[in-house]
Amino acid sequence: MSADTAPDLRIPPPHPNGGGARQPDAPPLQPAVTRPRVIAELCEQFAAVCESAVDPLEIASALEFEGLNDQTVRERYGAPDVFALGEEMYRLVPRRPAEPAPAGDPWRVSKFRPALHGLLYGLPTVCFTAAGGLLAGTGSFRILIVALLSSWAMSQGLAYLGYRRLGGGDLAQAKRVLRAGLVLGLAGVDLAFTAAALLMPVPVNALIFGFGLGAYMLGATVLLVLGAERLLLVVLAPGVLGSAAFLALGRPPQLEHAAWAALAATPLLAVGLALICTSRGTGPRRGEQPVPGPAPGPATGRLLPPADLIGALPSAGFGLVAAGLVIYPVVAGLHGDGGANTGALLASLPLTLSMGAAEWMLVWYRRRSQRLLRRTRELRKFASRARLVLFAALLQYLAAAAALIAGVVAIAAGTRLVHPQSEVVPQVVAYLLLGGALFLALLLQAFGSRAFPLIACVLALAFEVFYRGLGVFGQIVACTELLIVLAGYAAIVLGRAVRHAC
């Protein structure tokens, strides 16, 4: 058979009127120029998906979500199915994933709040000054020490439990824990006073004042954890104003009962408002943000599981030891054998007030370290910069504490409440060093390192007690070593990026 007589086996093109043979399932053929242009338009339409896709399946899923099935793809784009079209689009569009939106700053707080906390820590000192004229005898002084030690320890443990629940966003559970902890804390303070009364002669009015002090500390802790610190201004108003008036009038005997009533109103208000705040609505308030803190453990059917109670022990222990470090120089006296210690009395108030500055510096360091974590790509560079930020925060706190101490000394000398001499300078320096060490200890605790600061503070207090014969020099040595040790440990621990990834 010749080429001229061979049958034509080619498929004829479709007739304009529908004639001619055609495969029934064959996709319509796209012109050579039209198909790439149509695919390009589709890639432009799905540019955001294609640029951020990790594989072709993600693009195929987006196409199917928009209603493109295999038949539509064959008819419009000449691809066998949706997955083949997705693979082709994945090859054509280069990967340019969009930068994630910047995360919100969980540590942005009002500057007013830490300053208010500092006032709330320091204002009760006015009540102490007034009570000094109402309380007399060694037993009264000892019971105040018992009150401070027990209430500081229990309030720190209670704060840990409350923040642990709030860290998981469970406000209702946090309120129940705080309410139960408040009741148990009051029972613990009462037990401590009962034991003290059995071991030494204590005046009844000193017992009442000491219990009121413990009640105030626990109630104030509940309100602070719940973010109701403004209520503490209402709580402190009767005690502070009544005490200030009693002192300004020269402590007249006929106003002693009124002064006692004003002092008693403060702990009663603290406990009452704390119970009200932990009993009313448990839903989150409008605009309320979760409080940063340690995440809660696995849910259990118990309000205070043993694991949480054990976890609160380091916080309670730190509160006890910190109170001991602040109070012991007052008890030991200037030379370690008791007696008046004007420097310790002058430095204790500004040191308490400086806790507000310490809280602000802690938040400042958190924000700077988080910003540094997002901007730094090398671990060594992050470590060096994080340590610089750490020491900047420490220096800022020390400057604030020094300014507060200088202000209190100037006011005390100007009002002639005391007559400070040059011998108080070493005592003031010791308290300034102690404030820096406590700031670092609180900072380490905020980042989950609780055992080392507690042990270091225990050793420093033990040194002061065993070498009390050194007087103020022993306190300076202990506080200097504590500051150096905690600063070195913090530089190592907080220089690790993993510590800031929360």
pLDDT band at 123 (very low <50, low <70, confident <90, very high): low
pLDDT for 37-80, tens place per residue? 677 878 888 888 888 788 888 888 888 888 888 888 888 888 88
Lowest mean pLDDT among 187-191, 227-231, 280-284: 280-284
Using the predicted structure, report yes or no on whether residue 192 has a pLDDT greater than 50. yes
Lowest mean pLDDT among 229-233, 267-271, 283-287, 432-436: 283-287
pLDDT for 263-317, tens place per residue? 888 889 989 999 998 886 544 444 444 444 444 444 445 667 777 778 888 888 8
- Alpha-carbon Rg of the chain, whole angstroms? 35
Q: How far apart are the first and last CA of the chain?
A: 85
Sorted by where each begins, the domain ranges of the chain are 34-92, 110-283, 310-502
Predicted local confidence at residue 23, as pLDDT? 44
| % of the chain surpassing 90 pLDDT | 11
Residues 6+ apart with CB under 8 A from 23: 11
| % of the chain surpassing 70 pLDDT | 72
Predicted local confidence at residue 129, as pLDDT? 56
pLDDT band at 469 (very low <50, low <70, confident <90, very high): confident
pLDDT for 128-163, tens place per residue? 555 555 555 555 666 777 777 888 888 888 888 888
Joined together, the tokens standing for residue 304 give 């205070």
Joined together, the tokens standing for residue 9 give 């086996």
Using the predicted structure, report yes or no on whether residue 112 has a pLDDT greater than 80. no
pLDDT band at 180 (very low <50, low <70, confident <90, very high): confident
pLDDT band at 485 (very low <50, low <70, confident <90, very high): very high
Ramachandran quadrant class, 387 (left: phi over 0; alpha: psi -120 to 50; beta: rest): alpha
pLDDT band at 124 (very low <50, low <70, confident <90, very high): low
What is the spatial distance between Cα 61 and Cα 74, in angstroms, rounded to a whole number?
Answer: 17
Average pLDDT value for the chain: 76
> Greatest CA separation found in the chain?
140
CA atoms within 13 A on the CB side of 425: 3
Predicted local confidence at residue 291, as pLDDT? 40
Using the predicted structure, report yes or no on whether residue 12 has a pLDDT greater than 50. no
Predicted local confidence at residue 198, as pLDDT? 79
Predicted local confidence at residue 323, as pLDDT? 83
What is the spatial distance between Cα 362 and Cα 356, in angstroms, rounded to a whole number?
Answer: 10
DSSP state for residue 348 in the 8-state scheme: H
pLDDT band at 408 (very low <50, low <70, confident <90, very high): confident
Joined together, the tokens standing for residue 393 give 């925060």
What is the spatial distance between Cα 463 and Cα 479, in angstroms, rounded to a whole number?
Answer: 10
Using the predicted structure, report yes or no on whether residue 221 has a pLDDT greater than 90. no
pLDDT for 243-264, tens place per residue? 778 777 777 778 778 878 888 8
